[in-house]
Each structure stands twice: as C-alpha cells, then as structure tokens.
Amino acid sequence: MRLFEARNAHFDRLVNTSHLRWLGQNTNHSKAHPAVVEAMIRCARDEEFHIYAPPAGLEALRAGIIDDLGLQGQSVLVSDGAIESLYHVCHTLLRPGDEFITTDPTWNWPMAFAKAVGATVKQIPIYGPEYQYRLDPVRLAEAMGPKTKVVYLVDPNNPLGTVCTKAEIAAIADAVGKAGAYLIHDCTYRHFAHEHHLAAKLDPERTITIYSFSKWLGLAGLRIGAVVAHPDVIERLAASPPNNLGSSILSQRAAIAGLSIKEEWFPGVLAELRSNQALVKAAVDKIPGLSMPVYPSNGNFVVIECDAIGIRVDALAAVYGERDIMIRQGAYHTPTFGDRFIKVSLSVPKEWAEEFASLLPSMMEKARARNEPATVF
C-alpha cells in the first residue's frame, strides 16, 4: 500500500473510533457553547448552503478577527483553515531559489509547501536546554541571507509550547525587516499563551499573521481560518486564492458566533487546560527519567521527554493507541529530535487527561518491552 493510502486509512480508523480520546492533534474538545451550535443549526435550517460566501469572507467575521487580534488597519482573507492560508502564502510569495527559514522543531507542512514551489528550506535548531527550547533572534539574523524570502515562526511553538517574549518578537521582526523578507507569524495557539505579542503591531507591512479557529474555538473539522496582513499583501493574495468562491458559510457562521461568546466561554476552556497540564505534570514527576521541559506550556499541549529513560517514543504512542488514546511521537514534528519526546494535547475533558496520567507508569513498562519500530503517523 502506498504511504498516503496507509496514512489516510490510519486516520479513517481513528475518526471512526467513536470513543477515541484525542490527545494527539491539539484539537479542542471542550463542549461547544450553545450559541455556536445554534448558529450552525440555523444556517442549515435556513439552507444558506445554497449560496457562495463572499470571496474574502463574511464582513462580520473579517471585522471580528481584526478586533480579536487588535490589528486595526490590517486586512483579512478568510480561508478553509489556517493550513490553507499557509499553503496560499507560500505559493504566492515564494519562487524557485528563494530561501524559507523556520525552526526545528516546527509545524512541518509549510516546509513542504515551500519545497513544492522550488524554495530551499533552512531550519534553526531550538530543541534542548542549550537553546532554552526557543528561537534566539541573534541566531535567526545570522542564518538569514540575500536569498531569504520568508521566515516562518510558529508562536507559541508547536510542539514545544514556548512563546516569544516582547523583546524577542521585536528583535525577530527587526531582523526580518532589515533582510527585506516576510515574517509569517503563525499564531494558531496564541489564545492559550500566558502572554503573547503580535509582530504585526511592530512591522505591519511585512508581517503575515495566521489565524485559526481550529484550536481555541474547537472548529477543527469545520476548516475555518484566516490570513491577516497589510491590505497590499491581501490584495496580492486575493488575486488567486485556493477558494475564490468563499469558505464554508456554515463554518463562518459558527466562527462569528464563537467570537461573540469568547469572553464568556473561553476562560473556562483555559482553566480546564491548565488544570490538565498540572495533572499530567504531577504524573510525569513521579517517574524517574521522565521530564516536561516546558512547563507551563503556552499551547494546548505539553512535551514529555523520554530519551533519558530509554523508551522508544513510537512504541509509547503505539501502546497508548491500543487503549484508544491518541498521542503524538516527536518524529511527527522533527526527524532530528523526534526520538526524544512525545506530545500530549490537553484541551480535552478532565477524565481523558486523568486516564492518560493514570496509565503512564504501565504504558512506560509496556513500551519498554517493544524493540521493533511502530508504525505511527
């Protein structure tokens, strides 16, 4: 079977496992606010799906995204999810021979998009205490050259959960601006951060902000996101978007409703997430050799280092999978450092986090007995 067929069949099995505990995709499984559900029901009941949405998105949604970010003066292009925004930006801004710089680890797909148009990809290692699990702006400036066209920064970092300080963001934006490059500031996880700073407030002309509703609002399956940038950049992107007939109108209605109840609903999501992080941290601390290098995490996930204990992380992911608990092995994010850690998503019901934590000692022992590589995606 071809790899893409095997991968799709794997995820089809997961999707069709009704009782699966999703602790591997950073998706938000908090119960949706009734207003969001009602907005979708109303959209379907009124059969709005017969019409195309506006090509750049419903005006109420575009305005709501700007207000949520506080980026007045910027423009919005609504997309079928943040990953489509990244695809579109990479295919529009990059040309063969251009250089695309990001961190290691990072979110992998934009690197594939850059390579697909003939750009070269350079990764700056940030994993490990020697780097403090974060991007040093000085190292970024040193890595950039005349061919650098795009710097891609996931902030908070996926999978590590580190977030840039105000000074770091200022230095990164300055380095990118001096190089005449664009900064893609992927803010998918910003709502979970203890503190977050937008590069677009410092360099609005060369920063492209990626916005997602998959994580904070839990609309991953609805595929709704946006790219936010200077109107001149959006004008360029709007000339040939992947979906010039507009994104799902049902998804947009749900997103508008979500923004309207965010202040009421999201604090409870955040409180449960941070409680789940503390619960897992306590379980990790009880097992000699395990560690959680970034705590508290500024994402809706945590990284657990396993290399000191001599357990294969793919085996650990596999044995949890046998209990219908999905977690992610580090190699999903980085072939360089992927054998060192697992990632566990925790914007989930408390009982899911409790089950993961209670099983950790026995799953470690079960994984220890496995020497053969496990097939995980």
pLDDT in tens, 71-114: 999 999 999 999 999 999 999 999 999 999 999 999 999 999 99
For the segment 199-228, what is each residue's pLDDT rounded down to a tens digit?
999 999 999 999 999 999 999 999 999 999
DSSP class per residue in 140-190? HHHH--TTEEEEEEESS-TTT-----HHHHHHHHHHHHHTT-EEEEE-TTG
pLDDT band at 38 (very low <50, low <70, confident <90, very high): very high
Taking residues 186-194, report their average pLDDT.
98
Secondary structure of residue 33 in the 3-state scheme:
coil
CATH code: domain 3-31+263-368 is 3.90.1150.10
Share of residues in the chain with pLDDT > 70 (%): 100
For the segment 105-161, what is each residue's pLDDT rounded down to a tens digit?
999 999 999 999 999 999 999 999 999 999 999 999 999 999 999 999 999 999 999
Strands 225-229 and 207-212: antiparallel
For all residues of the chain together, what is the average pLDDT?
96
Relative orientation angle of helices 59-69 and 249-285, to the nearest 10 degrees: 30
Q: How many CA atoms lie within 13 A of 273 on its CB side?
A: 32
pLDDT at 1: 77
Does 377 score more than 90 pLDDT? no
**Is-above-0.75 flag for pTM?**
yes
pLDDT at 119: 98
pLDDT at 123: 98
| CATH for 34-261 (3.40.50.2300, 2.40.128.20, 1.10.287.180, 3.40.640.10) | 3.40.640.10
Tokens of 44: 């379907």
Q: Which residues of the chain does CATH 3.40.640.10 include?
A: 34-261
Strands 225-229 and 301-305: unpaired
pLDDT band at 367 (very low <50, low <70, confident <90, very high): very high
pLDDT at 32: 97
What are phi and psi for residue 149, nearest 5 degrees?
-110, -35
Decide if 162 contacts 294 (C-beta within 8 A): yes
Q: Exposed, middle or buried, 194 (CB in 10 Å: 0-12/13-18/19+)?
A: exposed
Q: Which residues of the chain does CATH 3.90.1150.10 include?
A: 3-31+263-368
